[in-house]
Structure 1
Amino acid sequence: MVNDAAAMAVVRAARPALRGAHDGVAFAAHAAFLADGYSLCAVGPAALADPSPLGDEEVGIDGWNIMENCYAFLYSKEEKGKKKRVLVKCLVIGEVLAIDVLDLEAQDKAPYNIQINVKDFFVEEQPKNYGDMYKNFTSLIETVNSNVLCKLDGDGSGAEAAKSTAAAAAKNSDGRSSPIQSSGDPGPRTADPSGYDPQKTSSFPFACIHS
């Protein structure tokens, strides 16, 4: 499991230029993957290439946010002598960032999905310190842990532990739960006019646009 301190260390080391809340949440998810031992092998349009890159070469973050209303990251990780490739696509839907995660080496598995209300995790002001740009950062990282990273690693016990921690950390001062929905615990939600339904599709129903 990744802790929030490790993820924030990745953010601070990379020093990304964040244009707003969607950039901030997307990069936080990316930081969690790097902190969990994944290597970035393609980003932006290159991550969406068909066929997907083999993941033999590690790349930097240049171009990670050049697409319009969409982010894409392709990661690789060596585990027990086998290489795992994971494609992460993030789609902007209003104030929500829909994150779709697919293990490319396990084609029979459905993707893992998270829908995050970005305004609940990123401040509208632009402080100078990265730590001050986020709010509820611990809850955000634990959500990525429990709904994605632990499941990719096949660690059911870790997923339950992270999920419990995220649920506790996600409580606001007035007792409301954090507005995060995932494929593991979808809960009630309203239909999106774009037609995107993370429970029914493994990919976005439209192409990301290069800005």
Structure 2
Amino acid sequence: MTPPARLAPLLAQFDFARQRLSERLAGPVAHSGNGTGVPVGPLTDDEYLWEPGPGCWSVRRRADGPGAAAELLTGAGAWGRDAAPYPHPVPPPFTTLAWRLSHLTEMLVLRADHTTGTRSLTRDDHRTPGDAATAVADFDAAAEAWRAALLSADDAALDTVGLCSYPHGGDPEEPFVEIVWWMNQELLHHGAEIALLRDLYGLRRAPRP
């Protein structure tokens, strides 16, 4: 199905942001922003779980319990993501690359499910992996699921309030086109954060001039 005219630029933006993040996570070459390619190694487990400072929120083995200022580990399985009920701690804890990638993947998976799937998944069902390779593969699968949900939308669907019934946001009260826009900005800003964390991690091991 040809995307509606209003959806086409949002879909193109999503594809661009997804490609940029996927390349930054997996390499072997990432777009530099000026038309040239920059060599990038695949994300390692150490980098995935790196905590740049004290008190970070991250993903952790469930058996170890939540980190500082967190009250629970969300999701299912052996690993979970640091979280706390509202109101969140102030100032908010710094979150690791693993936390941000898990958060982004979870939103993509759940919103796809609540648009064209079972409309039943919650954060309690989402499995956060403890290793980088699985996390990258899960992100790619989640992005593909959300893209398929976007391609299912015709022009009338874009204006349908509550087409996406994702339970952890304002989706049931918003037209679908607003949710599409929101997910693009989530991908863009978390993708930029993840890219910066990769750069900072690399500087730790770079030789001094």
TM-score of the superposition, structure 2-length normalised? 0.24
More helix by share: 2
More strand by share: 1
- Structure label with greater radius of gyration: 2
